[in-house]
């Protein structure tokens, strides 16, 4: 049994059909990249999994339990955490307050020291307000808030977008460390090379349809196979 099994997922925004019979699976301790052009439905897929958008039909089985149609907070309590593209940190709270608040309702949570071992920069900025952080620091905090809840699966929506190369390098190192420690990750990312450096498997989404499932080692050896879908 896969940790996450999605079948026949159809999602609408009003009358607009966004996802068409999407199917995917993610095994425990696996890193999967969901790739596609802008507007392909990648973020909508993550929002559907997390319950932010309620699918019209289909099945989402997470750790053996059906979660399609459940409220976001119930899905989070079950062990799924989304780091959204817009980060959603509390600007008026300090770094440490953001992390502590995120962990309050977790059944099992990381100690602060474990977070600060992973994000040394957040330790340095622990008393700074969210609004005073750089974009890279805000992204680190957004990921830290998800990790403090000890998730079974981490959903990352464009985690490297708009960040300086040195920050992307540091965040990639964090993600690799998480993967090596057994953290299950589903990442949506426009930075193909960054996603490829992390992923075990790849799904390609095009206009709301899942069109390809690929083994990452094969794609790394033959990057041209992505060209017909992504133009890279």
Tokens 């000890």 — which residue? Answer: 150
- pLDDT at 107 (0 to 100): 87
What's the predicted TM-score (pTM) here?
Answer: 0.94
Q: For strand 184-188 and strand 31-35, is the pairing parallel, antiparallel, or unpaired?
A: parallel
| Of the candidates 56, 61, 207, 178, the residue with the CA atom closest to the CA atom of residue 115 | 178
Grade residue 221 by pLDDT with cuts at 50, 70 and 90: confident
Give 184-199 pLDDT, tens digit per residue.
999 999 888 889 889 9
| Of the candidates 74, 178, 76, the residue with the CA atom closest to the CA atom of residue 118 | 178
Can you tell me whether residue 42 is helix, strand or coil?
helix
* DSSP assignment letter at 128: S
Round to whole Å and give the CA distance between 90 and 138.
10
Report, as an integer, the average pLDDT of 201-210: 95
Which residues, 6+ apart, have CB-to-CB distance to 131 below 8 Å?
A: 91, 92
Give 53-67 pLDDT, tens digit per residue.
999 999 999 999 999
- pLDDT at 218 (0 to 100): 87
Tokens of 69: 């149609």
Q: What are phi and psi of 21, to 5 degrees?
A: 50, 45
Contact 38, 158 (CB under 8 A): no
Give 75-123 pLDDT, tens digit per residue.
999 999 999 998 899 999 999 999 999 999 898 999 999 999 999 999 9
């Amino acid at each position: 049994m896969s940790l996450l099994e999605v079948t026949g997922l159809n999602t609408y925004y009003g009358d607009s059909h966004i996802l068409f019979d999407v199917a995917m699976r993610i095994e425990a301790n696996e890193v999967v990249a969901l790739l596609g052009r802008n507007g392909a439905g990648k973020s909508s897929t993550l929002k559907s999994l997390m319950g932010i958008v309620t699918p019209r039909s289909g099945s989402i089985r997470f750790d053996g339990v059906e979660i399609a149609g459940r409220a976001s907070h119930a899905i989070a309590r079950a062990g799924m955490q989304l780091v959204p593209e817009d980060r959603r940190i509390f600007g008026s709270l300090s770094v440490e307050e953001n992390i502590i608040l995120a962990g309050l309702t977790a059944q099992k949570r990381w100690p602060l020291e474990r977070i600060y071992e992973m994000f040394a920069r957040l330790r340095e900025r622990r008393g700074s307000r969210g609004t005073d952080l750089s974009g890279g620091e805000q992204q680190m905090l957004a990921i830290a808030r998800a990790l403090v809840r000890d998730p079974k699966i981490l959903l990352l929506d464009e985690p490297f977008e708009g960040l300086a190369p040195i920050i992307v390098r540091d965040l990639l190192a964090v993600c690799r460390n998480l993967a090596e420690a057994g953290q299950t990750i589903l990442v949506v990312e426009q930075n193909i090379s960054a996603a490829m450096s992390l992923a075990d498997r790849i799904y390609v989404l095009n206009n709301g349809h899942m069109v390809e499932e690929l083994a990452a080692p094969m794609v790394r050896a033959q990057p041209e196979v992505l060209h017909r879908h992504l133009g890279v």
